[in-house]
Structure 1
Amino acid sequence: MKNEVLISAPSHVHVGNIDLNGNLGRKYGTLGFSLESPRLVLRLKISEKDSINDKDGLNYISLFKQYLDCNKYFEAEILEDIPIHVGLGRTTALALSIGFGINYLCNKKASIDELAKVSNRGNQNSGLGVNSFKHGGFIIDGGVKGNNVAPLIFKGIVPDNLRIVVSLPEKPIKNILEIKKREDEILSNLPIMEESFSSYLSRIVLMKIMPSFIENDFKSFGEGLTEFNSSLGKYWKKYQDSIYCCKETEEIIKRFLDLGAYCACQSSWGPTSYGIFEYNDSIKAAEEIKKLINDLGGGKVWITKVDNIGAFLKA
């Protein structure tokens, strides 16, 4: 019997939600990408008491033990982490990694969707985190219905010659964390999206983003993503500086496009943003964005591949 396991889960970035109207019986529907870096890497082992170097993690250990009817104790250690509440999917990665590990060490057979539902991941709004964990790649989910996890309706294997340059400016993070504290309240009081606007977003996905990806026309694919993301920003404008979360992210996105990015998008509430480049162009682009972000008060810039696999477990 195994007493220890290592789980490695990707981060992800959002493009946005397709349908915040919901009159067809489903709501949200999310586009996004899994990222190889950063990752959440968790070591979980059977121990004499429950412990983890994360407050929320301890709650998840208790939750999954109860759901899985497992009477063991676990020591968990986060070896690599994802920045929290900045649009990179850390909360879902942590919850599912803990559930996945306990499920394995207790010799249970719960599905990832079951683990997601019991921890309220992927069945409330976006299914991107759960589908990123399960599948990786370029992801489109079909929105939430009832208490079900939003189903994967499209997965694209992103070619190895493409890179994502990610930017995380430091200055706006404090304001974003304040918004995140009110996220449930904001989402429950959102105005109903006009059906015509949701139809417009759906048309971009179905008639530009998906077919362009399938045809390897990444210029058109990127144009569709940028249009989708910036258009959706108008819906969230009440809660942001403009169509983007802050002037820092707006300037960075503009620079991404000036540098020839296939697309430039804000992830979730921000302040994380990203651009997609050919490998040969990504290093120079990252250097230029790093210069800009330093002028804007500092932050992080990194280059990553898309994770086309999802989370994995090593026993």
Structure 2
Amino acid sequence: MIQIQTGSRLHFGLFSLPADHAEPWPNHAGTPTLPQRQFGGVGLMVKEPGIRLTFEEAKKWSAEGLHADRALQFAVACCNSLHIQTAYHMRIVSPAPQHVGLGTGTQLGMAIASALHAVARHDGKECNVVQMAALIGRGQRSAIGIHGFEHGGFLVEAGKRSDAEISPLLIHCDFPTEWSILLVVPRDLQGVHGSREAAAFSSLKREPVDERATEAMCRIVLLGMVPALIERDLETFGEALHEFNYRAGTMFRPFQGGVYSHPRVEQIVTCLREFGIPGVGQSSWGPATFAVTDQAHAAQTWLVRKGVISSDEAIIATPCNHGAETTIPTKSADG
């Protein structure tokens, strides 16, 4: 039986959006020189809620558990590309929710691609993480989830050039294990996804390019967030994270009507800041809301007592500083 375990992805925000008429960035003389990069951004892998899958050989493909239909779609696509004839029964043992800002689709697809690649590799077929992402149609915009699947930890990606397969990984480092992440996932809300997400980016391409905004966000990450992370300065890291996330949200204001995707998300962010946690924001399209803190239990209790959330809407997550873990049985010498 093959087993694979991966974490969940928090996306803190993009550096920039694609534009219909983006020009190369100018040098000191004003000459367009540096190629524009699209998307890019910052994120973190956490252990909870995560995804765990098992694969057992079977007469035909089947799947059980939450997201079973989507898992089968990924499996069929991978098998067709890798020319795998063996069928498996997949069990999705601990599934993270979909379409809430935790990158579940990418982690599920990468887990399946990785497991089937492990099978194919035994037959001499090689496949890297970029190729795995291509198998499941990922990496067209952000690659935080792809790099997070491989490496875990805190991640900064550079952004895609127009001719690139995925955005390259710029910074990767371990996240302090003494810090926790309070995740609040409001019930009955979903983030933008699928065709609506594609429509959102299509409409946002018509917005004017704001190079100053991208420059400011790069400064926040390079001179604020990353040094504070290395120095284990939770307060400074939190303030930089919140500011970066807020500025990232303003890019989507023309589409979602505000910095955050829903008034409930804004309420949760405001309340957590009032509690005294600086590093609060929305992951991706939301509605998942994060708070990086060393007092997660107290913050959760406070939110519940105020009636802002119910206890089952919160998860206390821990950093995942390693990539996905795959266990595949070895074949004995006698077959």
What is the TM-score when the length of structure 1 is the normalising length?
0.91
Q: Which moved more, 1:299-308 or 1:33-42?
A: 299-308
Give yes or no for the alignment of 1:40 onto 2:51.
Answer: yes
- What per-residue deviation string (whole Å, max 9, x for no partner) do you get for residues 198-232 of structure 1? 11111211221122222222221111110011122
SS at match of 1:19: coil
Tell me the residue number matched to 1:149.
166
Q: Alpha-carbon deviation of 1:298?
A: 7.8
Q: Determine which of 96, 117, 120 is the counterpart of 1:103.
A: 117
Question: Is the contact made by 2:181 and 2:293 (CA closer than 8 Å) also made in structure 1?
Answer: yes
Q: Alpha-carbon deviation of 1:287?
A: 1.1
- What per-residue deviation string (whole Å, max 9, x for no partner) do you get for residues 43-87 of structure 1? 012211111231121111111111112121121110110100000
Query: After superposition, where does 1:77-88 map in structure 2 within 5 Å?
Result: 77-88=91-102
SS at match of 1:182: helix
> What amino acid is aligned across from residue 142 of structure 1 in structure 2?
A
**Do the aligned partners of residues 290 and 131 (structure 1) sit closer, same or farther apart at CA in structure 2, a change above 3 Å counting?**
farther
Give yes or no for the alignment of 1:10 onto 2:21.
Answer: no
**Do the aligned partners of residues 18 and 140 (structure 1) sit closer, same or farther apart at CA in structure 2, a change above 3 Å counting?**
same
Please, what is the CA RMSD of the aligned residues? 1.8
Query: After superposition, where does 1:30-69 map in structure 2 within 5 Å?
Result: 30-53=41-64, 54-69=68-83
Q: Alpha-carbon deviation of 1:189?
A: 2.5
Question: Is the contact made by 1:212 and 1:221 (CA closer than 8 Å) also made in structure 2?
Answer: yes
Q: Alpha-carbon deviation of 1:273?
A: 0.5
**Do the aligned partners of residues 163 and 117 (structure 1) sit closer, same or farther apart at CA in structure 2, a change above 3 Å counting?**
same
- What per-residue deviation string (whole Å, max 9, x for no partner) do you get for residues 223-256 of structure 1? 1110011122121112224211111111111111
Q: Alpha-carbon deviation of 1:180?
A: 4.8
Q: Percent identity?
A: 26
Question: Is the contact made by 2:181 and 2:290 (CA closer than 8 Å) also made in structure 1?
Answer: yes
Runs ≥4 in structure 1, deviation > 6 angstroms? none
State how far apart, in whole Å, the 2-side matches of 1:9 and 1:109 are: 21
Q: Alpha-carbon deviation of 1:286?
A: 1.4
Higher-Rg member (1/2): 2
Give yes or no for the alignment of 1:183 onto 2:180.
Answer: no
Q: Which moved more, 1:20-29 or 1:125-134?
A: 20-29
Question: Is the contact made by 1:241 and 1:247 (CA closer than 8 Å) also made in structure 2?
Answer: no
SS at match of 1:80: coil
State how far apart, in whole Å, the 2-side matches of 1:42 and 1:155 are: 26
Give the count of matched residue pairs: 305
SS at match of 2:313: strand
Give yes or no for the alignment of 1:311 onto 2:324.
Answer: yes
Tell me the residue number matched to 2:224.
208
SS at match of 1:102: helix
Give yes or no for the alignment of 1:272 onto 2:288.
Answer: yes
Tell me the residue number matched to 1:284.
298
Query: After superposition, where does 1:122-161 map in structure 2 within 5 Å?
Result: 122=139, 124-145=140-161, 146-161=163-178
Q: Determine which of 246, 250, 272 is the counterpart of 1:230.
A: 246
Question: Is the contact made by 1:6 and 1:314 (CA closer than 8 Å) also made in structure 2?
Answer: yes
Give yes or no for the alignment of 1:26 onto 2:34.
Answer: no
State how far apart, in whole Å, the 2-side matches of 1:147 and 1:75 are: 35
What is the TM-score when the length of structure 2 is the normalising length?
0.86
Tell me the residue number matched to 1:247.
263
> What amino acid is aligned across from residue 48 of structure 2 in structure 1?
S
Q: Alpha-carbon deviation of 1:41?
A: 0.4
Q: Alpha-carbon deviation of 1:150?
A: 1.7
**Do the aligned partners of residues 61 and 180 (structure 1) sit closer, same or farther apart at CA in structure 2, a change above 3 Å counting?**
closer
Q: Alpha-carbon deviation of 1:271?
A: 0.8
Question: Is the contact made by 1:5 and 1:105 (CA closer than 8 Å) also made in structure 2?
Answer: no
Question: Is the contact made by 2:268 and 2:308 (CA closer than 8 Å) also made in structure 1?
Answer: no
State how far apart, in whole Å, the 2-side matches of 1:295 and 1:26 are: 39
Q: Alpha-carbon deviation of 1:290?
A: 3.1
> What amino acid is aligned across from residue 84 of structure 2 in structure 1?
C
